Amino acid sequence: MKKNLITAVLMTIATTILLGLVYPLLVTGMAQVIFPKQANGQLIQQDGKTVGSRIIGQGFSGPAYFHSRPSAAGTGYDAANSAGSNFGPTNQKLIDRVKGDVASARADNPGQSVPIDLVTTSASGFDPHITPAAAEFQLPRIARGRGTTIEQVRAVLAKHTEPRQLGVLGEARVNVLELNLELDKRFPANKQATTQ
Nearest one of 137, 129, 142 to 176, comparing CA atoms: 129
The structure's pTM equals 0.78
Verify that 3 and 65 share a domain, yes or no: no
How far is the C-alpha of 96 from the C-alpha of 83, rounded, in Å? 19
- On whether the CB atoms of residues 194 and 63 are closer than 8 A, the answer is no
- On whether the CB atoms of residues 114 and 106 are closer than 8 A, the answer is yes
Cα separations in angstroms, 87 against 50, 98, 132, 165: 34, 12, 26, 30
Verify that 89 and 20 share a domain, yes or no: no
Domain ranges, residue 104: 41-195
Verify that 164 and 82 share a domain, yes or no: yes
pLDDT of residue 195: 46
pLDDT of residue 193: 44
Verify that 174 and 122 share a domain, yes or no: yes
Verify that 10 and 51 share a domain, yes or no: no
Phi, psi (rounded to 5 degrees) for 194: -110, 130
pLDDT of residue 83: 72
Give average pLDDT by consecutive 10-residue segment, the chain, 196 residues.
92 96 94 87 86 87 90 77 79 89 87 90 86 95 92 95 90 94 86 46
Verify that 51 and 24 share a domain, yes or no: no
Verify that 90 and 15 share a domain, yes or no: no
How far is the C-alpha of 146 from the C-alpha of 155, rounded, in Å? 14
Verify that 87 and 30 share a domain, yes or no: no
Q: Which residues does residue 50 pair with via DSSP β-bridges, in sequence order?
A: 45
148 CB-near residues (< 8 Å, 6+ apart)? 187
Coil, strand or helix at 16: helix
Verify that 104 and 128 share a domain, yes or no: yes
Verify that 14 and 88 share a domain, yes or no: no
- On whether the CB atoms of residues 178 and 55 are closer than 8 A, the answer is no
CA atoms within 13 Å, Cβ hemisphere of 155: 6
State the total domains in the chain.
Answer: 2
Verify that 7 and 92 share a domain, yes or no: no
How far is the C-alpha of 149 from the C-alpha of 155, rounded, in Å? 10
How far is the C-alpha of 54 from the C-alpha of 111, rounded, in Å? 33
Ramachandran bin of 104, using left for φ above 0, alpha for ψ from -120 to 50, beta for the remaining angles: alpha
pLDDT of residue 28: 92
Verify that 69 and 108 share a domain, yes or no: yes
